[in-house]
Amino acid sequence: MRDDRLVRNLLLGPALLVLAFTVLYPFVNAFLLSFRDWQLNKSPQPTAFVGLENYTRAFGDPHFINSVVVTIQYTIISVVLSMVVGLGIALLLYRPGWINLILKSFLIFPFAMSPALKGFSWRFMLNPQYGIISELIGRIYPPAAGFVWLGQPFWAMFWLAITEVWGWAPYIALVFIGALGTLPQDAFDAAKVDGASTIQTFWHVTIPMLKPIIVMMILLKTIFSVKQFDAVVTLTGGGPGRATETMNYYVYKTGFSFFDMGYASALAYLLVVAMFIFAFFYVRSLLHREA
């Protein structure tokens, strides 16, 4: 067809324009800004070029180093817990049955809930005086009654991760339920014939067959954990101290509380680099799966 080119360009054009204006332009502009000094509260325009100073400053900034460490810890805890809980829920619910069917349709709720609201709702439940979760924990393990969960660095991090696990584990479970349904029954029959126990079957048959999906989910969850922001603001506010101050939150503070735009752009770009490493592997596994 002669007019194919024209039609195709007309179809693609608007989307590419939108993306160029809302993504590409900011992306390039922030990169250029990262080499300049710009205190927004003093000057409406960027001032001097400072070369790599913003980047060298980052590596000597203990608060930034702290945010990197926090992000890594947080990512590991939340990814591991989300995967384990998600897989657990999937194994529990993947067989057909009316209870499972009903529960499965509720699994999307935690994932669809606004992350900012998640943070607030867990903060409420963890309140040492009237929080339902602190109360339940206090009933089960009396020495912990009245413990200020969000006042202690480790536990604040732990509950921040749990807030995230609450949203993600059900979603991961749904993905696994979908995948479990497509696994060939022969493999399980063969394992049964060979006298494998349930646990052996799980480790040596189920898990290896699920591996591509597991890898993809780990990457996807990692990407989301690395840029965690909403629940940090509403659950812990980065505290106690700076114990839950993730990279994204630190960039936000640098830019919009201290108005140090040049430095914030450089920090944001370091976050971009971190994201793109994981994104590279995610895109690869996604395209690989599609092909």
Partner 1 sequence: MTLLTTARKPSLPLGRNRSPKPRVRVEAWGWLGVRWVSLFATVVFIFLPVVWLALTAFKYARDAYSTRLFFTPTLDNFQAIFAPPNSFGPLTLNSTLVSAITVAIAIPVAAMAAYAFSRFQFKGKNALLVSVLSVQFIPPVVIVLHFFSIFRNLSLLDTRIGLVILNLSFVTPFAIWMIKGFIDSLPGEIEEAAMVDGCNRFQLLRYVSVPLIMPGIITSAVFSFIQSWNEFLFALVLTRRNAVTLTVGLMGLNAERGIIWEQMAAAGLIIMVPIFVLSLTIRRHFVEGITMGAVK
Site residues (CB under 8 A) for partner 1, limited to 119-178: 120-125, 129-133, 135, 166, 170-171, 174-175, 178
Q: Which is nearer to partner 1, 72 or 103 (CB)?
A: 103
Helix and strand totals (H; E) in the chain? 15, 0
Binding positions for partner 1, 46-75, rule CB under 8 A: none
Please, is 73 exposed, middle or buried when counting C-beta atoms within 10 Å of its C-beta (0-12, 13-18, 19+)?
middle
- Beta carbon of residue 157, minimum distance to partner 1 (angstroms, whole number): 19
Please identify, using beta-carbon distances, which residue of 10 and 207 lies nearer to partner 1.
10
Of 68, 89, 150, 157, the residue at the interface with partner 1 (CB under 8 A) is 89
End-to-end CA gap in the chain:
27
Site for partner 1 in 251-270 (CB under 8 A): 251-252, 255-256, 261, 264-265, 268-269
| Residues 1-20 close enough to bind partner 1 by CB under 8 A | 1, 3-5, 7-8, 10-12, 14-16, 18-19
Taking the least distance from each CB to partner 1, the nearer of 14 and 62 is 14
* 95 sits near partner 1 (criterion: CB under 8 A): yes
Smallest distance, partner 1 to C-beta of residue 211, A: 16
Contact between 233 and partner 1 (CB under 8 A)? yes
With left for phi above 0 and alpha for psi between -120 and 50, is residue 51 left, alpha or beta?
left
User: Which helix (H) or strand (E) is 244 found in, with range?
Assistant: none
269 CB-near residues (< 8 Å, 6+ apart): 30, 31, 34
On whether the CB atoms of residues 142 and 59 are closer than 8 A, the answer is no
**Which of the ranges 48-56, 66-74, 91-99, 148-156 carries the binding residues for partner 1, by CB under 8 A?**
91-99
Q: Which is nearer to partner 1, 144 or 275 (CB)?
A: 275
Q: Cis before residue 143, ω within 30 degrees of 0?
A: no
CB of residue 290 vs partner 1: minimum separation in angstroms? 9
Residue from 82, 234, 236, 244 binding partner 1 (CB under 8 A): 234
Angle between helical axes of 207-226 and 261-290 (0-180°, round to 10): 160
Instruction: Assess 79 for contact with partner 1 (CB under 8 A).
Output: no
Q: Give how many residues touch partner 1 by CB under 8 A.
A: 105
Place of tokens 């709720």: 109
Amino acid identity of residue 185, one-letter, is: Q
Tokens at 148, concatenated: 């200020």
* Chain centroid to CA 58: 23
Distance CA 58, CA 61 (A): 5
Site for partner 1 in 180-219 (CB under 8 A): 188, 191-195, 197-198, 201, 216
Which one of 53, 73, 110, 128 is in contact with partner 1 (CB under 8 A)?
110
How many residues make up the chain in this entry? 291
